[in-house]
């Protein structure tokens, strides 16, 4: 392929795998590229791979990698990397799911709500998820009645076990049993995981919880799709880990759990894990974030759930403890050279503990460890073992015991269907199958199940620095699975080709059968040669390698290494792996030691003796019996492949993004290696062998329509246009299917090159036109500037001449005005001097006259204020004296009233003896009252003494006030005289101003008067202070008296309440005593238990059918009056008329429901509300419930919502609670007593009558309220079900609409067409029909408003959740489509007015803001604050991040949010995930009832039932003749 300058390519790099690059120079033999690291590299063209030029648009990633423009290795790698950076850990490759381990908790992805979202949804409709794969397998099993399998693979730490857990969890969710028992199969399947992890998982270098075996979980289903049983198979347990581990790895988890079990560990004489040889080979004993003791109890709990008995549990843990003790047994040389013995007392202790725990003979145990027997024709020969052989013998026993225990554990308690006995003579087949059968019966395995779903969790391809026998077997298994995988991928390719009706017969299939023949073919396969070498005791790995190279040297996939004679390399599908054969023979030999079998078969533990049955006689001749691990594994693998071949496979490939187990870290080289090992790139190769590029015709035309612009105008056939484009480009390697075009590898690159050339030419044309436009614009600007300069110069010359002329004229005018100003100034100075002299003279005369008048007025003011002051003081004195007298009189009256209250309180009779508790309370209150009285009396005495003292003080003060008054009068007289003298003196002063002697005498007199006035004012101030103190003391006394009066009033109220409660209890006891004499003891107990359960009825589900009153004990209510109970029970014959009113549609009259009014009139006339016992209310409720349960009930729900709400409103407005059934807050002051009339009409004229209701009526009102809530909830749920299909097609724009938008955007000369909103019109029509139905049935606007509000809330939730789950909905064009639909809903809300719509528009906040965000332009310029606060204030950061990660512009190909904003949101989302602030980005539906009984009574107006006439169809009924007479 030729590359041009500017082409985007991928270049291979050792450290990063592949790098993004751009061609900067294209030469003949080499291409110079600029990498993303800003380095220039010269490479050959064939080493480059093309990169999509538009990959940065549309989010930069796809959820299905078959949609990639270039399906190649770097495209797959970087697509996963981009999605992983957005926490999108799941990606499809066709039907294959790739799961990247996030190494962090993402709880919002796995909650029950998310499982419900994926339930029944076609694979690919929603975002990739492991639940989608599980649901696809389940639906295929149910629909096709064919077994399915899910194959989960990946390297250690990639998340295989967690993925398997999630798959099993989802399958148990969708296929849970209809009837749950104490120990269901679902629980056992889920609880099998901690057991598998405890006994088969261990810490490795790469993973803290690595599975050291493979397992196949088979979940069985019945015909209805319910789980009916389960089975588990295990493969290739790593037995060598029991006796040998390396630091920092660990042994199996169960050993550490047992050592940390506390009392159980003490029971088995176990200490810390560091004290045991099999565990202390590594210094890692604890795992971060894991408590061994807690895990131990979880394991025991799981054993209980899966059905392991306590005796078997004890045997299992005793066996584990025995293995640990066995590892601590050490040996020393014996007396003979080749013999051995127990080393010391510590080893002897562990030996005794091992024998005790295994329940066998210690001497026989020592003999089996330190010697072996050889059977000959002459007899048995006992051969001693040296120390090394004894240690190896000990380790063999430990591995054998653990392996048998593990096999038994899953054979017998996880009900395996397939058991492969390679050496049938070793096992007692009959006993084991009998054990499986018995346990399967007790647990519930479905042997008749015809459909199963198998989940395979098996180790992935492994390639380390040192690879041994385990890696050989693991890679052999992966080769087998890869062949199955290739066949499946090829089959899927064929099915797609068939569905598209294209020719595929010449497509080559990539197979690895030659690799499988190399390993397993007989008689010269590697496994066959290995078994042959193991048969000879003197064979070594050297002889095995030599024979293998001699027989298989010509095989193309087998190579001999250069630096070793025994190592060999195999070219697997995932790459070349070099194996070291040093331990191949030892690990392949699975010796069965006869002494070990005999020892443990003689054990007194039934479990151990069952595991190690006695060997047949022919097998006892040799002490060691050889069994090939590789051959047994090959047979198990073959059986697994046979099982998988009968099922439909589904694949999940788990990927570990980095080797340090850290989140948000993606290592390209490691992931690339895993993609090769997982077969994902192999699937890519298979796709490349056929037609890797597949595009729908609409997508193809949208991308390459620019190549034929002449055909894009107007309407066109997309298929024909696609063919025209390909023919014009002269391409031959393509085929046209029904809906897609299929291109061979490299064809899309040719089209992209041609497209780039067309776009470049178009860009050059646009640039030329733009440069022409800029040049012309510059010329026009220069021309206009020159004209402006010329005009400016002429203007400047004219303005200069004009300035000179204006200055000359101005000079003349200035001279004239200056002369005038000089003359005017001289004249004004002369005038001002004359005026100044005149004004000074006149001012002197006026001031002298003014001072005289001011002195006269000041004297008058002083006199007037003094007279006013004396009168005011006299008035205040009289007023204070009057108040003091009044206070004294009120005190006297208050004391009299207090004495009366005390007498009234003392006359209250004692309570009856039957109420002991109330008497005690009353005695306490009486005692408190007496104490209060004594305290009050003592206080009153002290107050009286104080009052008497204050009275005396007041008398003395009054006397002093009288003396002061008399002295003031005398002074007043003197002042009058002085005033007269002052007047005379003033007259004399006026007449004789020049007389200074008289003036001096008058001044002396004035000073004397001032002194007198000062003395009088001081006396008055003293008197006022004394009066104020007296007034304050009297006010304090009055406040204390008021407090005493308040306490008395409070005590009196408490006394009245106690009397009321006492009366209520007496009446209740009276009624209960009467009931006890009238009914049987059994009925009493039933009613009493029902009455106790009555208050809890409020906690039932809001949609529960109201309970009939005949199931509850009616609490009788007696008023104690002389009126007899009304005989309402005789009206049982009237039930028929009520049934007809309920079953028939009586319609409405003037907007009033006829049925509700007739029922209320009848009940009121029959005085049912006043009856203490009646069944008529039960009949009404049962009849309404019967109508609601009928088939046609859904259509009558609005009718009955209107009737029941009207009837409930009548009851709330016209019924009044009487006695202790009433609400205390609503009880009037006049209804404290329970006696009186039971029926009392309140109101005047046209007001409705209120009835004192009894208990059945109150209960009827409660039941009717529940009935209204039930009808409302049922109506709302029905509406949600009806509108859900309409919403599912409204969230995504139809393809025709998107195509029209694409055409409009590509042809600038044609106007854009408006998208079709037919789906949204259906929703509007649905809402209009709903409103018409509700209005026809006269449903109150309150209910309509609540119903429409909740319906719009549901619309908001469904649209918003669908938007977040489907990437194809998060597009620009789809946002425009949904926005147009929302505008139609807004118009509908405006048309129906706020009375009926309420806050419905605000309920759409989430979807409105999300869609508004999709359709805004220049998203890249928006900051996080603008998005979260201005554009989407209602959305959480997690929801905004989800939209940003899924958004792509399919209309203008613009870029989304900037990387900085996305990174900031990702950090916030990670913090929220770590802190568990928010678990989900989806919205939950609100199922609550949005109103209460009080809301109904306040919102619904009262109904006047008086003018509602009886329908003609009921005129003949005798029970309602009173209604005809009344009319």
Q: Between residues 836 and 1474, which one has the greater pLDDT? A: 836
Cis preceding-peptide flag for 523 (omega within 30 of 0):
yes
Residues 6+ apart with CB under 8 A from 677: 155, 460, 461, 463, 478, 574, 575
Query: What distance in Å separates the CA atoms of residue 734 and residue 1242, rounded to the nearest whole number?
Result: 92
Measured over the CA atoms of residue 545, residue 548, residue 552 and residue 555, the dihedral's sign is negative
Placement of tokens 């989806």 in the chain: 1482
375-423 pLDDT tens trace:
665 667 778 888 888 888 888 889 888 888 887 765 554 443 332 222 3
**340-349, 979-988, 1343-1352: which has the minimum mean pLDDT?**
979-988
For residue 328, the SS3 value is: coil
| Other CB atoms within 10 Å distance of the CB of residue 693 | 24
Q: How far apart are CA 314 and CA 606, in angstroms?
A: 12
Of 252-256, 877-881, 1043-1047, the poorest mean pLDDT is in: 1043-1047
How far apart CA 927 and CA 939 sit, in angstroms, is: 18
C-alpha span between 165 and 572 (Å, rounded): 30
Q: Give the model's confidence band at 833: pLDDT under 50 very low, under 70 low, under 90 confident, else very high.
A: very high
pLDDT at residue 1418, as a whole number: 78
Segment among 706-710, 719-723, 1167-1171 with least mean pLDDT:
1167-1171
DSSP class per residue in 676-703: HHTTHHHHHHHHHHS--EEEEHHHHHHH
**Residue in 212, 206, 215 with CA at minimum distance from that of residue 151:** 215
pLDDT value of position 251 = 93
Instruction: Render pLDDT for 474-483 as a digit per residue (tens, 0 to 9).
Output: 889 888 888 8
Compute the average pLDDT of residues 1345-1360.
90
Taking the C-alpha atoms of residue 318 and residue 651, their distance in angstroms, rounded to an integer, is 40
Using CA atoms in the order 1148, 1149, 1151, 1154, what is the torsion angle rounded to 10 degrees?
Answer: -50
Q: Which residues are catalytic?
A: 156-157, 161, 207, 210-211, 460, 462
pLDDT, average across residues 85-105: 86
Please list, in sequence order, all residues whose beta carbon lies within 8 angstroms of the beta carbon of residue 607, skipping any fewer than 6 positions away: 312, 315, 316, 319, 408
**Per-residue pLDDT, 1516:** 60
How would DSSP label each residue in 593-630? EHHHHHHHHT-S-HHHHHHSPPPPGGGSSSSEE--BHH
Q: Is the peptide bond before 248 cis (omega within 30 degrees of 0)?
A: yes
Supply angle C-alpha 674, 679, 683, rounded to 5: 130
Q: How far is CA 916 from CA 910, 920, 977, 1053, in A?
A: 11, 6, 87, 21
446 has a pLDDT exceeding 70: no
By the 10 Å C-beta count (0-12 exposed, 13-18 middle, 19+ buried), 277 is classed as middle
The model's pLDDT over 769-793, given as tens digits with 9 standing for 90+, comes to: 999 999 999 999 999 999 999 999 9
| pLDDT band with cut points at 50, 70 and 90 for residue 1290 | confident
Is residue 85 pLDDT above 90, yes or no? no
pLDDT tens column, 1071-1093: 444 444 443 333 333 333 333 23
- First-to-final CA distance of the chain: 99
For residue 317, give both structure tokens: 């843990």
Q: Strand order in 17-26's β-sheet? A: 40-43, 31-35, 17-26, 8-13, 48-50
pLDDT band at 40 (very low <50, low <70, confident <90, very high): confident
- Pairs from 1057-1065 (Cβ < 8 Å, separation ≥ 24): 1058/918, 1058/921, 1058/922, 1058/925, 1059/908, 1060/1232, 1060/1233, 1061/918, 1062/911, 1062/912, 1062/915, 1062/918, 1063/1233, 1063/1234, 1064/1219, 1064/1220, 1064/1234, 1065/915, 1065/918
Supply 1262's token pair.
């409660």
DSSP one-letter string for 943-990: HHHHHHHHHHHHHHHHHHHHHHHHHHHHHHHHHHHHHHHHHHHHHHHH
Largest CA distance in the chain: 179
Report pLDDT for 408.
72
C-alpha distances in Å from residue 500, one per residue of 493, 497, 731: 11, 5, 20
pLDDT at position 144: 84
CA distance 462 to 1413: 47
d(CA 1377, CA 168): 39
Q: Is the pLDDT assigned to residue 435 strictly greater than 50?
A: no
Q: How confident is the model at residue 21 (pLDDT cuts 50, 70, 90)?
A: confident
Flag whether pLDDT at 1486 surpasses 90. no
Structural tokens at position 180:
């749950």
Alpha helices in 1250-1317 (DSSP H): 1255-1290, 1295-1306
198 three-state secondary structure? helix
Kindly state the average pLDDT of the residues 1061-1066: 61
The C-alpha angle with vertex 553 and arms to 551 and 557, in degrees rounded to 5, equals 120
Q: Give the mean pLDDT of the chain.
A: 77
DSSP code of residue 1209: H
In this prediction, residue 1298 carries a pLDDT of: 44
pLDDT (0 to 100) of residue 1166: 75
Q: Answer for the pair 398, 392: CB distance below 8 angstroms, yes or no.
A: no
Chain mean position to CA 1375: 25
Q: What is the pLDDT of residues 168-208, one digit of tens each?
A: 889 888 887 544 444 555 566 666 677 778 888 888 877 78
Q: Has residue 1125 got a pLDDT over 60? A: no
Query: Quick check: helix, strand or coil at residue 373?
Result: strand
The enclosing H or E element of 635 equals: helix 629-645
Distance (Å, whole) CA 287 – CA 283:
11
Phi, psi of 91 (to 5 degrees): -145, 140
pLDDT tens by residue, 1416-1464: 887 778 888 888 888 898 888 888 888 887 787 777 667 778 878 888 8
Give residues with Cβ within 8 angstroms of 965, minimum separation 6. 874, 877
In this model, does residue 1369 exceed pLDDT 60?
yes
Q: Indicate if the pLDDT at residue 1360 is higher than 80.
A: yes
Contact 351, 365 (CB under 8 A): yes
**Is residue 1110's pLDDT more than 70?**
no
> Is residue 859 over pLDDT 70?
yes
């Amino acid at each position: 392929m030729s590359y041009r300058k500017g082409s985007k390519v991928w270049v291979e790099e050792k450290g990063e795998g592949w790098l993004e690059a751009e061609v900067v120079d294209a030469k003949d033999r080499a291409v110079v590229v600029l990498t993303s690291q800003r380095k220039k590299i010269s490479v050959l063209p064939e080493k480059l791979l093309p990169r999509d030029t538009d990959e940065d648009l549309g989010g930069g990633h796809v959820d299905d990698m078959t949609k990639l423009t270039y399906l190649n290795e770097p495209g797959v790698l970087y697509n996963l990397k981009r999605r992983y950076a957005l926490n999108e850990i799941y990606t499809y490759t066709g039907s294959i799911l790739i799961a990247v381990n996030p190494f962090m908790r993402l709880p919002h992805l796995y909650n029950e709500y998310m499982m419900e979202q994926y339930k029944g949804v076609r694979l690919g409709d929603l975002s990739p998820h492991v639940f989608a794969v599980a649901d696809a397998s389940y639906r295929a099993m149910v629909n096709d009645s064919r077994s399915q399998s899910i194959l989960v693979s990946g390297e250690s730490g990639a998340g295989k076990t967690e993925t398997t857990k999630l798959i099993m969890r989802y399958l148990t969710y969708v296929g849970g049993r209809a009837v749950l028992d104490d120990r269901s199969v679902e629980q056992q399947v889920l609880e099998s995981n901690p057991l598998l992890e405890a006994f088969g998982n261990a810490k490795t270098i790469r993973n803290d919880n690595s599975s050291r075996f493979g397992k196949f979980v088979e979940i069985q289903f019945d015909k209805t799709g319910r789980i009916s049983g389960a089975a588990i198979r295990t493969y290739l347990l790593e037995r060598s880990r029991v006796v040998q581990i390396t630091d920092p790895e660990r042994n199996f988890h169960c050993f550490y759990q047992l050592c940390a079990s506390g009392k159980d560990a003490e029971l088995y004489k176990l200490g810390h894990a560091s004290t045991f040889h099999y565990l202390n080979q590594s210094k890692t004993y604890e795992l971060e974030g894991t408590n061994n003791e807690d895990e131990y109890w979880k394991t025991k709990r799981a054993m209980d759930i899966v059905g392991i008995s306590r005796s078997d549990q004890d045997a299992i843990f005793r066996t584990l403890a025995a293995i640990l003790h066995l590892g601590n047994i050490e040996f020393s040389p014996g007396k003979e050279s080749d013999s051995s013995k127990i080393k010391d007392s510590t080893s002897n202790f562990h030996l005794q503990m091992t024998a005790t725990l295994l329940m066998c003979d210690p001497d026989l145990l020592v003999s089996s460890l330190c010697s072996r027997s050889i059977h000959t024709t002459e007899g048995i020969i006992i051969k001693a073992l040296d120390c090394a052989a004894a240690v190896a013998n000990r380790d063999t026993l430990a591995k054998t015991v653990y392996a048998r225990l593990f096999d038994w554990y899953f054979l017998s308690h996880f009900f395996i269907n397939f058991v492969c006995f390679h050496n049938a003579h070793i096992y007692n087949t009959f006993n084991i199958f009998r054990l499986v059968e018995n346990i399967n019966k007790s647990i519930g395995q479905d042997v008749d199940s015809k459909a199963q779903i198998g989940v395979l969790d098996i180790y992935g391809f492994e390639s380390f620095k040192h690879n041994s026998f385990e890696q050989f077997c693991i890679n052999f298994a992966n080769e087998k699975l890869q062949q199955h995988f290739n066949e499946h991928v090829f089959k899927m390719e064929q099915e797609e080709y068939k569905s598209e009706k294209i020719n595929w017969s010449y497509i080559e299939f990539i197979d690895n059968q030659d690799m499988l023949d190399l390993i397993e073919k007989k008689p010269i396969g590697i496994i066959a040669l290995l078994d042959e070498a193991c048969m000879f005791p003197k064979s070594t790995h050297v002889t095995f390698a030599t024979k293998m190279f001699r027989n298989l040297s010509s095989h193309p996939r087998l190579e001999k290494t250069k630096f070793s004679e025994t190592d060999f390399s195999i070219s697997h599908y995932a790459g070349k792996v070099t194996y070291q054969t040093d331990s191949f023979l030892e690990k392949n030999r699975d010796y069965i030691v006869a002494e070990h079998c005999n020892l443990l078969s003689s054990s007194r533990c039934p479990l151990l003796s069952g595991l190690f049955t006695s060997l047949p006689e022919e097998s006892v001749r040799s002490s060691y019996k050889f069994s090939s691990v590789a051959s047994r594994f090959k047979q198990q693998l073959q059986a697994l492949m046979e099982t998988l071949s009968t099922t439909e496979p589904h694949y999940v490939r788990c990927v570990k993004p980095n080797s340090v187990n850290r989140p948000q870290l993606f290592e390209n080289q490691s992931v690339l290696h895993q993609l090769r090992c997982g077969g994902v790139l192999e699937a890519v190769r298979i796709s490349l062998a056929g037609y890797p590029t597949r595009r729908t015709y609409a997508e193809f035309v949208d991308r390459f329509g620019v190549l034929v612009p002449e055909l894009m105008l107007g309407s066109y056939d997309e298929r024909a246009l696609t063919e025209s484009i390909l023919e014009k480009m002269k391409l031959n390697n393509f085929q046209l299917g029904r809906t897609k075009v299929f291109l061979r590898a490299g064809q899309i690159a040719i089209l992209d090159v041609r497209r780039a050339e067309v776009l470049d030419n178009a860009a050059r044309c646009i640039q030329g036109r733009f440069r022409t436009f800029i040049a012309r614009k510059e010329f026009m600007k220069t021309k206009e500037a020159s004209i402006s300069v010329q005009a400016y110069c002429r203007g400047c010359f004219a303005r200069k001449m004009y300035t000179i002329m204006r200055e000359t004229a101005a000079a003349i005018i200035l001279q004239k005005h200056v002369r005038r100003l000089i003359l005017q100034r001289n004249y004004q100075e002369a005038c001002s001097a004359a005026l100044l002299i005149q004004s000074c003279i006149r001012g002197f005369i006026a001031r002298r006259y003014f001072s005289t008048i001011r002195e006269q007025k000041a004297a008058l003011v002083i006199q007037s204020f003094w007279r006013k002051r004396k009168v005011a003081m006299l008035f205040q004195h009289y007023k204070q004296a009057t108040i003091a007298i009044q206070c004294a009189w009120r005190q006297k009256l208050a004391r009299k009233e207090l004495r009366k209250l005390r007498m009234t309180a003392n006359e209250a009779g004692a309570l009856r003896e039957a109420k002991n508790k109330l008497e005690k309370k009353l005695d306490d209150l009486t005692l408190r009252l007496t104490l209060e009285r004594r305290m009050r009396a003592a206080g009153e005495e002290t107050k009286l003494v104080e009052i008497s003292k204050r009275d005396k003080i007041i008398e003395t003060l009054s006397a002093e006030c009288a003396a002061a008054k008399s002295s003031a009068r005398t002074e007043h007289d003197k002042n009058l005289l002085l005033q007269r003298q002052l007047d005379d003196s003033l007259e004399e002063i006026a007449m004789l101003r020049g007389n200074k002697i008289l003036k001096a005498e008058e001044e002396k007199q004035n000073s004397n008067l001032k002194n007198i006035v000062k003395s009088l004012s001081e006396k008055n101030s003293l008197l006022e202070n004394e009066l104020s103190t007296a007034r304050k003391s009297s006010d304090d006394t009055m406040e204390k008296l008021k407090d005493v009066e308040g306490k008395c009033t409070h005590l009196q109220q408490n006394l009245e309440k106690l009397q009321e409660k006492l009366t209520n209890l007496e009446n209740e006891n009276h009624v209960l005593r009467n009931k006890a004499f009238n009914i049987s003891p059994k009925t009493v107990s039933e009613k009493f238990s029902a009455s106790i359960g009555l208050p809890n009825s409020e906690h039932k589900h809001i949609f529960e059918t109201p309970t009939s009153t005949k199931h509850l004990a009616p609490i009788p209510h007696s008023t104690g009056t002389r009126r007899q109970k009304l005989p309402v029970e005789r009206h049982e014959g009237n039930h028929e008329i009520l049934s007809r009113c309920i079953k028939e549609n009586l319609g409405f009259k003037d907007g009033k429901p006829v049925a509700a009014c007739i029922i209320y009139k009848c009940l009121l006339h029959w005085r049912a509300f006043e009856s203490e016992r009646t069944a008529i209310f039960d009949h009404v409720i049962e009849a309404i419930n019967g109508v609601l349960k009928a088939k046609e009930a859904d259509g009558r729900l609005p009718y009955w919502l209107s009737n029941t709400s009207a009837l409930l409103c009548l009851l709330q407005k016209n019924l009044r609670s009487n006695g202790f059934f009433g609400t205390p807050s609503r009880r009037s002051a006049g209804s404290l007593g329970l006696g009186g009339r039971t029926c009392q009409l309140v109101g005047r004229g046209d007001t409705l009558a209120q009835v004192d209701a009894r208990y059945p009526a109150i209960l009827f009102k409660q039941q009717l309220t529940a009935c209204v809530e039930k009808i409302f909830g049922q109506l709302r749920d029905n509406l949600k079900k009806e509108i859900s299909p309409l919403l599912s097609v409204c969230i995504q724009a139809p393809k025709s609409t998107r195509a029209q938008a694409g055409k409009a955007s590509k042809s600038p000369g044609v106007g854009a067409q408006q998208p079709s909103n037919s789906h949204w019109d259906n929703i509007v029509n649905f809402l209009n029909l709903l409103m018409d139905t509700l209005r026809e049935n006269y449903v109150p606007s309150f209910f309509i408003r609540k119903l429409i509000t909740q319906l719009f809330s549901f619309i908001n939730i469904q649209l918003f959740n669908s938007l977040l789950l489907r990437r194809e909905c998060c597009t620009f064009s789809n946002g425009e489509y949904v926005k147009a639909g929302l505008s139609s809903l807004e118009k509908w809300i405006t048309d129906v007015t706020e009375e009926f719509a309420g806050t419905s528009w605000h309920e759409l906040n989430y979807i409105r803001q999300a869609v508004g965000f999709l359709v805004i332009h220049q998203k890249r310029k928006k900051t996080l604050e603008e998005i979260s606060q201005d554009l989407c204030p209602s959305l959480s950061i997690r929801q905004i991040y989800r939209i940003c990660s899924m958004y792509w512009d399919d209309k203008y190909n613009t870029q989304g949010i900037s990387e900085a904003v996305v990174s900031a949101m990702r950090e916030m989302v990670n913090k929220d995930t770590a802190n568990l602030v928010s678990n989900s980005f989806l919205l939950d539906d609100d199922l609550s009832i949005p109103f209460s009984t009080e809301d109904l009574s306040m919102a619904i107006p009262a109904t006047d039932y008086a003018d509602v006439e009886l329908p003609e169809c009921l005129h003949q009924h005798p029970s309602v003749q009173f209604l005809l007479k009344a009319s």
